[in-house]
Amino acid sequence: MTNPTTEAQAEATDAATDAVTEAAPLTPQALPVGEPLAWPVVDRDGALLLDAGSVLMGEAERDFLFLHFAPHRGDMERLEVTPESATAANAASIGVTAATTRDMHLTIGALMGLRPQMGASGAPMHPCRLIGFAPNEALFVTMPYVDGRPIAITPGENVEIVPIASQAVYRFVCTVHALNQSPLDYLVLSKPANIRRLRERRSIRVRAQFPVRYGIGEEGAGYDGVALARGISALGLSVSAAWALGKVGERLRVAFQLRSGENATTIETCAIIRNVQAETGDPAHATLGLELDRLTPAEQMAMKVYVFDRQDDVLYWTGSMR
C-alpha cells in the first residue's frame, strides 16, 4: 500500500529539484552561435539580455555575454537571486586647460574627490563636498570618510582635488591648513593652485551596471546583442561591448531598464556613437560613448532621477575616464 505522506514528500522533492534545475544558469554550450535562439535569455535578476530569435554572431560575443552577465533561459521561472554589486568602472581625464579659481564657478555643495598628493598615483579619490569659501579664496570642505572613518590627513599636507563644477570637471592642488570638528568634521584648504580643466561637463556621469540591448543601425526591428552599461548621465551612456558596434557618428538602437526605488522605466530609443575605444584588458572589446538625443520627456525624467539617486558615486573620482 502506498503511503500518501511518502508520495507527498516525493512530489515536494521533485518540485524542489525542478526549481533548482530551472534556476541553474546557462552554459556557453547551451547558446548556439549563428543560429536563432529558441527562447529569450535573461540575467540573474530577470533583466532581458536577448530576445527569442536573436543570433549570436560569434564566439567573442558569446564570451562577452558570459563574462559580464549570468545568462538564464527567459522562458523558465528562476529562484530569486540578489544581483551582484556594481563593478567599478574605468575612468579617464581628458585634456588639460589652465583655469583660475573664478573660472571654475564652484558652488556650495559641489561634489568633490580628494586624495593626499603624496603617493597619489593610482590612489582613489575620496568623496567630500564644498561647504564654504574664505575671502582669501581658501576652501572649506567636509571631511572625507573611508569605511566610516575619516581619512588619514595632517595639516601642512598637500591634497589633490577633483571638483564636479557647474560647467566642467577640474583638478587642482591645495594645502591642508586645519582640521576642525565643530560644528562638523571639516577641512580648511588653501587657495587652489595648479588648476587644470579636465573636461567639459554637460551632466554628471555616475557608475552603472545593467544590460543594454543594441541593434545595429537606426532602422530595424529587434536587437542584435547586449552590451554592459558602465556609466550613465542624463544625456547618455558609456557601454562595454564585445566589439566596436559602429563608427563615431553612426546610430544604434538601444533598450534598457532603469530602476529607482519602486519605479522601473523601460527606455527604447536611438543613440549616436560619440566615441569608440579599445579596452585595455582585451583590445577586441570596445568602450563606446553613446548620446541619447531622442528621449521622450518621461524618459528624460527617468534618466535624471536615476543619476540623481546615485550622485554620490561619480565616475570621475576613480581615476581616468573613457
Q: Does any domain span residue 140?
A: yes
Do 262 and 163 reside in the same domain of the chain?
Answer: no
Rounded distance, CA 70 to CA 315, Å?
25
Do 64 and 103 reside in the same domain of the chain?
Answer: no
Q: Residue 100's pLDDT is what?
A: 77
Rounded distance, CA 54 to CA 270, Å?
19
What's the domain range around 185?
97-200
Residue that finishes a domain, picked among 7, 41, 73: 73
DSSP structure class, residue 5: H
Rounded distance, CA 55 to CA 38, Å?
10
Contact 77, 21 (CB under 8 A): no
Do 101 and 195 reside in the same domain of the chain?
Answer: yes
Contact 226, 65 (CB under 8 A): yes
Do 219 and 301 reside in the same domain of the chain?
Answer: yes
Rounded distance, CA 145 to CA 7, Å?
58
Do 306 and 217 reside in the same domain of the chain?
Answer: yes
Q: Does any domain span residue 87?
A: no
Q: What are phi and psi for residue 79, nearest 5 degrees?
A: -70, 150
CATH number reported for the structural domain that contains residue 56 in this entry: 3.90.105
Residue that finishes a domain, picked among 200, 235, 267: 200
Secondary structure of 53-111 in HEC code, one letter for each residue: CCEECCHHHHHHHHHHCCCEECCCCCCCCCCCCCCCCCCCCCCCEECCHHHHCCCCCCE
List CB contacts of 223: < 8 A, sequence separation 6 or more. Answer: 50, 51, 54, 213, 214, 215, 253, 255
Do 279 and 300 reside in the same domain of the chain?
Answer: yes
Q: Does any domain span residue 89?
A: no
Rounded distance, CA 17 to CA 23, Å?
10
Rounded distance, CA 118 to CA 158, Å?
7
Contact 269, 276 (CB under 8 A): no
**Grid cell for residue 156:** 601642512
Residues of the chain with pLDDT under 70: 1-24, 76-99, 119-123, 165-167, 198-203, 261, 311-322
CATH number reported for the structural domain that contains residue 164 in this entry: 2.30.110.10
Q: Residue 176's pLDDT is what?
A: 96
The count of domains in the chain is: 3
Q: Does any domain span residue 271?
A: yes
Q: Residue 67's pLDDT is what?
A: 87
Rounded distance, CA 167 to CA 190, Å?
22
Rounded distance, CA 97 to CA 195, Å?
8
Residue that finishes a domain, picked among 73, 88, 122: 73
Do 104 and 53 reside in the same domain of the chain?
Answer: no
Q: Does any domain span residue 193?
A: yes
Distance set, CA 34 to CA 58, 59, 60, 163 (Å): 7, 9, 12, 48
Q: Which of 76, 48, 47, 25 is nearest to 223 (CA)?
A: 48
- Beta bridge pairs of residue 277: 287
Contact 171, 196 (CB under 8 A): yes
Q: Does any domain span residue 223?
A: yes
Do 219 and 121 reside in the same domain of the chain?
Answer: no
Q: What are phi and psi for residue 289, nearest 5 degrees?
A: -100, 120
Q: Does any domain span residue 188?
A: yes
Rounded distance, CA 257 to CA 267, Å?
6
Q: Does any domain span residue 1?
A: no
Q: Residue 314's pLDDT is what?
A: 54
CATH number reported for the structural domain that contains residue 215 in this entry: 2.40.10.220
Q: Residue 201's pLDDT is what?
A: 55
Do 171 and 224 reside in the same domain of the chain?
Answer: no
